[in-house]
Amino acid sequence: MAAAPVSKKQVQALGTEGWSKWSSLQDDLVRRIAGSFLASNDLDHYMCLRAVCPSWRSATDDPKDNASNPVFHPLRWIILDEVFQGDDDMRILLNTHTGRFLHKKLPLLREYYVVATTPSGFFVLADRTPPHTARVFNPLTGCLTCFPWSVPLEAGVAQVGHDDGLFYLYFLGDSSRKIYIGFPEVKYFVSRDCQQLAYNAVRDAVLGGAYPQHISVPALVDAFADLFDFMRSHSDFFNFFLSDLPGDTENNIRFRCYVVGLPAQVFLHVEREGRTPIVFKMNTETGKIEPVKSVGTFTIFIGCHRCLTVDADKFPAIEANCVYYTQHLGSSAQICKYNLSDKKVERLSEVAEFVKEDKQFVLVAARPFTIIQLLCSYTINRRDSELALQQMVQGAEQSCSNFVDGDLDG
């Protein structure tokens, strides 16, 4: 016997009845579900849960009421620069601990200059009108924190920190070796000059995603001092570093040290034919560093600009306990994989995956790109500050105008 057809009114009644049951879910259960999203740092899911109904919204905390609370900060996200062609509002975000991609439209970015993106997933912005005050934008919660001071023009590396309930923003200036620190409640920032070793330690820790979550500045300096002591105790190893190495000739970088996003690990990467990456780990009992052969289920990605770690269990295409790095071939670059266990190096392709265009290395591999290619693109490239670029354009236009005026006067 055939079942009687269900009318549209009956479907609507069932939907309304089912919805009323969900909306009456006990507050403690709603908070437990919300807490699971916060535990995995899936803040966008948390915001969607709060948008379901008024009762769920009232049962959970609003990030906009306390934007400085670190529980509402992106901690494990990176912002990939491989944006959709023709849509400047679209960004691709990746949770490196869960392997989840998020395609998100961010029209707010059109209202500001993008100065930098942090290794944790914040956008650092500047007002388009002078004095170009700083803003920190959380793309997962939509929170925009205002800082009442101007962004330093030389700033290209930035990070957000929190300490004892204080929310702060700091920039690194490569040309002056200054660290700029500012708070939302203070109308000026504090700048501090650093010696080269200390500045390099902080910079490489920030770009590796480890500072300020995992290690303090004094510990960084001590770790790098131990690293150089280790090198000096191995004369062949140390003499190798004294030779001319390819790298970032503009900044006179001959080799790269990163404090990666794993507790107390120092990663040393060298780009030279016949040489392989080396991973050091801090021995917490002796306070010394020592080479290691395993980073467990994690994998390290290293480039000339940034470093990051991912949990290989969440990325089936990525091999655990390996280092993926880019080997430069003049105007191109290729991806290599170094296995920490057997110390073998493998090139992933016979042809180069990147071609240099202006200052960026562009993927030339066929779409869709693999996750390994995307993560290597993230480490090999770093966008310039839009504010600094705009200032350069205005300066060039002013120089040209002065030249023309002077020529006419003459």
- Cβ atoms of 374 and 82 closer than 8 Å: yes
User: What pLDDT, in 10s, does the model give residues 193-232?
Assistant: 887 767 777 777 777 666 655 556 566 666 666 666 665 6
What SS3 class is residue 365?
coil
Same domain? 152 vs 186: yes
Residues 70 and 53 in one domain: no
Q: What is the dihedral of CA 76, 345, 383, 221, to 10 degrees?
A: 70
In a domain, residue 36? The reply is: yes
Does the residue 345 lie in any domain? no
User: Would you say 233 and 241 are in contact if contact means Cβ atoms under 8 Å apart?
Assistant: no
Residue 325 lies in a domain: no
**In this structure, are 68 and 154 located in the same domain?**
yes
User: Under DSSP, is residue 285 helix (H, G, I), strand (E, B) or coil?
Assistant: coil
Q: At what angle do helices 217-233 and 235-242 cross, to 10 degrees?
A: 110
- Same domain, residue pair 112 and 188: yes
> Do 68 and 189 reside in the same domain of the chain?
yes
- Establish if 142 belongs to a structural domain: yes
Residue 248: the pLDDT is 41
Last residue of a domain, one of 131, 160, 193: 193
CATH number of the domain bearing residue 126: 2.40.10
Which SS3 state, helix, strand or coil, does residue 78 take?
A: strand
71 and 47 housed in the same domain: no
Residues pairing with 183 in the sheet: none
Residue 124 lies in a domain: yes
> Are 30 and 129 part of one and the same domain?
no
- Whether residues 175 and 117 fall in one domain: yes
Cβ neighbours of residue 326 closer than 8 Å, sequence gap 6 or more = 302, 303, 304, 333, 334, 335, 336, 354, 361, 376, 379, 380
Stated length of the chain:
410
Q: Are 70 and 36 in the same domain?
A: no
Helix-strand-coil split of the chain, %, nearest 5:
30, 30, 40
Residue 26 and residue 129 in one domain: no
d(CA 366, CA 143): 37
CA gyration radius, the chain = 25
Residues 72/262/256/199 CA torsion (nearest 10 deg): 60
Residue matched to tokens 């709603």: 30
Q: What value, to the nearest 5°, has the Cα angle with vertex 71 and ends 45 and 118? A: 85
CB under 8 A, 24+ apart: contacts of 131-134: 132/387, 134/169, 134/182
Which among 392, 374, 356 is positioned nearest to 96, based on CA atoms? 374
Q: What pairs with residue 190 in β-bridges?
A: 181
**Number of domain units in the chain:** 2
**Residue burial 79-108, b: 16+ Cβ < 10 Å; e: rest:** bbebeeeeeeeebbbbbbbbbbebeeebee
- Is residue 71 a part of any domain in this protein? yes
Task: Tell me the CA distances in angstroms from 377 to 115, 249, 255, 333, 372, one per residue in order.
Answer: 19, 20, 19, 10, 9
Flag whether 133 is in a domain.
Answer: yes
Query: Among 193, 226, 256, which residue terminates a domain?
Result: 193
CA distance 201 to 298: 23
| Structure confidence at residue 33 (pLDDT) | 94
3-state class (DSSP) for residue 260: strand
Residues 143 and 46 in one domain: no
Each residue's pLDDT expressed in tens, for the chain with a length of 410 residues? 454 554 545 444 444 555 567 888 899 999 999 999 999 999 999 999 999 999 999 999 999 998 888 899 998 899 987 554 556 788 999 998 899 999 999 999 999 999 999 888 999 999 999 999 999 999 999 999 999 999 988 887 888 887 766 788 888 888 888 888 888 888 888 888 887 767 777 777 777 666 655 556 566 666 666 666 665 665 444 443 433 333 343 333 345 667 676 655 656 655 454 467 778 776 656 666 677 888 899 999 988 888 888 999 999 999 999 999 988 888 999 999 999 999 899 999 989 999 999 888 999 988 888 999 999 999 998 888 899 888 887 766 666 665 555 655 55
d(CA 58, CA 50): 8
- For 111-124, write each residue's pLDDT tens digit: 999 999 988 899 99
Residues 110 and 137 in one domain: yes
Q: pTM of whole model > 0.85?
A: no
Closest CA to 21 of 64, 50, 56: 56
Dist. CA 370–CA 375, nearest whole Å: 9
Task: Let me know the angle formed at the C-alpha of 145 by 140 and 149, rounded to the nearest 5 degrees.
Answer: 145
With H, G, I as helix, E, B as strand and everything else as coil, classify residue 211. Answer: coil
The last residue of one of the domains, among 193, 213, 243, is 193
Does some domain include residue 185?
A: yes
Domain that holds residue 35: 22-60
Specify the pLDDT at position 76: 83
